[in-house]
């Protein structure tokens, strides 16, 4: 795993260009502490930089930037190509293999590009990647990103007309004269979703390359080229849903084989390797399939919390014991978790408010003390219908279809009253403990909002939103993603539409961003077997009856797992990977939050209307309502903005 950065200035490399490029790559040193390299073409105005975390071919033969055998292409690359051995063999059979200098997948990628061209080569890759390829013959730069968005890539023009790119925004903002202008549309989207969705970035004029896309900047171009898709996920998902495979026992065998192959490919490394293990379905499946094809005990890692509602470590330990892994666990105190918070703006480099970023970072840091590569179970929920909101949205959609509009409006008005809130809290306290609902009073206004909706897509969007009216808190801000919800293919089952949208948005922009930044901040490479594109394509051919049985998701995945782990160790309610931010904001984080939510400062910064924020803050402090998700969005932005003003304040 690595970090890449670079620039193109069609007028030539500026004075001090070599040092500027080094500064760009130094900004992402954590992504690649083992080696560094820069390549400049003064006449063409091109600079390519690289930081290397050595995983395959630890020798100097894997050094980047790497020049192709003919000298035509220069590559800086972040990621892993899992089928690079097969690609090398195919080149040899076709007579297109060069005289190999080493066994790195970088060299393989360059050879395939020389043999068939860059865009055809990308379609042959099985892996996670983000790379920049300079074509010295055509004087063009190609940027490409993997199919599901495991690896990040930002790009755009600086104020002086220089084209910049990098794995993280850290590399772009150090360019002399870079204008730090916040994109208000991106900010509006951020407060709605708790992340900035692609293709936007928080900085005006800078874009994220969407998953499964590439862009080509041709000689002399001064405008951002449109991204081009090389893998049509919409077609794969829609056609698979419309023409599902017949449900039969053989599907479980086929899924297990695909997953076994995917896991096996991701176990190749010239450095120590392990896996995250939470004890849930997804991570347990990955670890089970790793141990099934390993002669050694697989290294597994989990962290626990002393707060019982947030602790899965006991389940992970039971699974690890059954599978016979070499298991390491670390129990984190609230203070240790809170100590990470000052570093979050630097680690994520862009406003990001999924509070599970804290345990993800701590898990990565602990894991990196033992191994350099770790497999992760992310992606299972989006592929096999695992999120609770899929079922919640379906129930609400069905209920709304049965209730007349006028009765829903009356019910909505009642649910918003204080009387309804007090009554709900009172009834909840009278129920046996096993039947009580957490934060029941907070759910009534949400339910009232749902009653006004006329279709399922509105319900889904509400469920994934924090600030449901971003313009109310970001003056002049409008969520630019709105149109995506009107362009969803017509799926036979509404849950498929939600899974489709999550795969395009929530998965790459929240889940994979979280894992990438947390792991790379500790120089750990995280690999995600569920996101092998062959697994993804097969999952979308499965009928919904294979994914859902008796109202429970991930049915076929459970069937695979039960072949390796007893059902009793797995079947339990799904638990999020989080921390008690709501309680912390009323307790040990109160002074920190009060400072960042200061009304005068909010007004001076000019990004937010302080009134709704202060209202929610006071309600949260009083204990009357829980607004920690909304407040964490604002706090993470404010902490990030303060870091941008004085980055020396917060260091990893």
Predicted confidence band of residue 650 (pLDDT cuts 50, 70, 90): very low
CATH 3.60.20.10 placement within the chain: 2-230
Enclosing H/E stretch for 497: helix 494-504
Say which residue, 224 or 62, is predicted with more confidence: 224
Average pLDDT over residues 64-85: 96
Is the pLDDT at 467 greater than 90, yes or no? yes
Residues for the chain: how many in total?
652
Q: Does domain 234-385+502-569 have CATH number 3.40.50.620?
A: yes
Question: Which of 60, 57, 130, 58 lies closest to 88, judged by CA?
Answer: 57
pLDDT band for 652, please (50, 70, 90 cuts): very low
Give residue 577's pLDDT band: very low, low, confident or very high (50, 70, 90). low
Structure confidence at residue 347 (pLDDT):
96
The confidence band for 453, taking pLDDT boundaries of 50, 70 and 90, is confident
Q: Which CATH class is domain 2-230?
A: alpha beta
Burial 368-403 (b: 16+ CB within 10 A, else e): beebbbbbbbbbbbbbbbbbebbbebbebbeebeee
> Would you state the structure tokens that stand for residue 270, as one six-digit string?
């010239």
Give the C-alpha separation, 73 to 61, whole Å.
16
For 601-617, the pLDDT digits (tens) are 999 999 999 999 999 99
What is the sign of the dihedral through the CA atoms of 195, 394, 382 and 311? positive
To the query of whether residue 2 is one of the catalytic residues in this protein, the response is yes
Band of pLDDT at residue 62, cut at 50, 70 and 90: confident
Beta strand pairing call for 154-157 and 525-527: unpaired
The whole-number pLDDT of residue 651 equals: 39
Tell me which of 65-74, 409-418, 630-639 is least confident: 409-418
Q: What is the largest CA-CA distance in the chain?
A: 79
Query: Residue 367 corresponds to which tokens in the numbers above?
Result: 């894991």
Judged by average pLDDT, the poorest of 129-143, 295-309, 311-325, 443-457 is 443-457
Q: Is 47 left (phi over 0), alpha (psi -120 to 50) or beta?
A: beta
Confidence of residue 353 (pLDDT cuts 50, 70, 90): very high
pLDDT band at 415 (very low <50, low <70, confident <90, very high): low
Q: Which of 1, 2, 121, 341 is labelled catalytic? A: 2
Q: Say how many CA atoms lie within 13 Å of 107 toward its Cβ.
A: 18
Average pLDDT rounded to a whole number, residues 323-331: 95
Weakest mean pLDDT among 53-67, 350-364, 510-524, 561-575: 53-67
- Does position 409 have pLDDT exceeding 90, yes or no? no
Model pLDDT, residue 625: 86
Least confident of 224-238, 244-258, 392-406, 620-634: 392-406
For range 370-397, the mean pLDDT: 95
Better pLDDT: 579 or 648:
579
Most confident stretch, 20-34, 410-424, 475-489 = 20-34
How confident is the model over 157-189, as pLDDT tens digits?
A: 999 999 999 999 999 999 998 999 999 999 999
Mean pLDDT of the chain: 91
pTM across the whole model? 0.92
pLDDT value for 396: 84
* pLDDT tens-digit series, residues 209-222: 999 999 999 999 99
Q: Of 265-269, 507-511, 574-578, which one has max mean pLDDT?
A: 507-511
pLDDT more than 70, % of the chain: 89
Which residues of the chain are in CATH 3.40.50.620 domains? Answer: 234-385+502-569
pLDDT at 423: 61
* 316 band by pLDDT with thresholds 50, 70 and 90: very high
Residue 145 pLDDT > 70: yes
Lowest mean pLDDT among 154-168, 372-386, 472-486: 472-486
């Amino acid at each position: 795993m690595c970090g890449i950065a670079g620039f193109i200035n069609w007028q030539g490399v500026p004075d001090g260009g070599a040092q500027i490029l080094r500064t760009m790559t130094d900004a992402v040193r954590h992504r690649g502490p083992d080696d560094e390299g820069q390549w400049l073409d003064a006449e063409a105005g091109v600079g390519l930089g690289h930081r290397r975390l050595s995983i395959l071919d630890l020798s100097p033969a894997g050094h980047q930037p790497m020049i192709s055998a003919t000298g035509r292409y220069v590559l800086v690359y972040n990621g892993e190509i899992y089928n690079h051995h097969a690609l090398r063999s195919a080149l040899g059979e076709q007579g297109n293999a060069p005289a190999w200098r080493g066994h790195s997948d970088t060299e393989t990628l360059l050879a395939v590009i020389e043999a068939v061209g860059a865009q055809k080569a990308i379609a042959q890759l099985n892996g996670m990647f983000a790379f920049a390829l300079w074509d010295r013959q055509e004087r063009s730069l190609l940027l490409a990103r993997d199919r599901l968005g495991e690896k990040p890539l930002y790009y755009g023009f600086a104020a002086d007309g220089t084209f910049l790119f990098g794995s993280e925004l850290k590399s772009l903002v150090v360019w002399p004269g870079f204008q730090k202008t916040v994109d208000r549309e991106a900010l509006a989207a951020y407060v709605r979703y708790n992340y900035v969705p692609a293709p936007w970035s928080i900085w005006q004029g800078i874009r994220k390359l969407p998953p499964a896309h590439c862009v080509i900047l041709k000689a002399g171009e001064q405008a951002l080229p449109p991204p081009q898709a090389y893998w049509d996920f919409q077609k794969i998902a829609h056609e698979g849903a419309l023409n599902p495979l017949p449900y039969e026992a053989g599907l479980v065998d086929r899924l297990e084989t695909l997953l076994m192959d995917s896991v096996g490919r991701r176990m190749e490394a010239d450095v120590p390797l392990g896996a995250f293990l939470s004890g849930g379905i997804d991570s347990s499946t990955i670890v089970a399939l790793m141990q099934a094809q390993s002669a050694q005990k697989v290294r597994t890692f989990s962290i626990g919390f002393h707060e019982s509602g947030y602790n899965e470590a006991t389940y992970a330990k039971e699974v690890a014991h059954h599978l016979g892994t070499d298991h390491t666990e670390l129990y984190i105190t609230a203070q240790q978790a809170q100590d990470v918070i000052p570093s979050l703006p630097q680690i994520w480099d862009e406003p990001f408010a999924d509070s599970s970023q804290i345990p993800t970072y701590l898990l990565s840091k602990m894991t990196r003390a033992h191994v350099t590569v770790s497999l992760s179970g992310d992606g299972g929920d989006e592929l096999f219908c695992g999120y609770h909101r899929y079922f919640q949205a379906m129930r609400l959609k069905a209920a709304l279809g049965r209730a007349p509009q006028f009765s829903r409006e009356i019910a909505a008005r009642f649910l918003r009253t204080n009387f309804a809130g007090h009554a709900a809290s009172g009834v909840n306290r009278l129920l046996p403990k096993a039947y009580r609902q957490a934060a029941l009073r907070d759910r009534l206004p949400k339910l009232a909002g749902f009653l006004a909706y006329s279709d399922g897509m509105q319900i889904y969007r509400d469920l994934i939103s924090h600030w449901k009216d971003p313009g109310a808190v970001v003056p002049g801000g409008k969520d630019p993603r709105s149109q995506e919800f009107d362009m969803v293919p017509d799926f036979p089952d509404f849950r498929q539409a939600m899974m489709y949208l999550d795969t395009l948005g929530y998965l790459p922009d929240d889940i994979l961003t979280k894992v990438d930044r947390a792991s790379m901040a500790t120089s750990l490479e995280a690999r995600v077997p569920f996101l092998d594109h062959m697994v993804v394509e097969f999952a979308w051919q499965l009928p919904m009856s294979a994914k859902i049985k008796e109202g429970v998701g991930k049915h076929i995945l459970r069937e695979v797992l039960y072949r390796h782990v007893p059902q009793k160790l797995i079947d339990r309610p799904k638990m999020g990977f989080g921390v008690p931010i709501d309680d912390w904001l009323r307790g040990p984080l109160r002074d920190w939050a009060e400072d960042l939510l200061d009304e005068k400062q909010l007004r001076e910064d000019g990004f937010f209307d302080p009134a709704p924020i202060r209202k929610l803050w006071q309600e949260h402090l009083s204990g009357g309502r829980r607004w920690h998700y909304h407040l964490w969005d604002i706090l993470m932005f404010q902490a990030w903005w303060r870091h941008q003003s004085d980055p020396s304040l917060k260091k990893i």
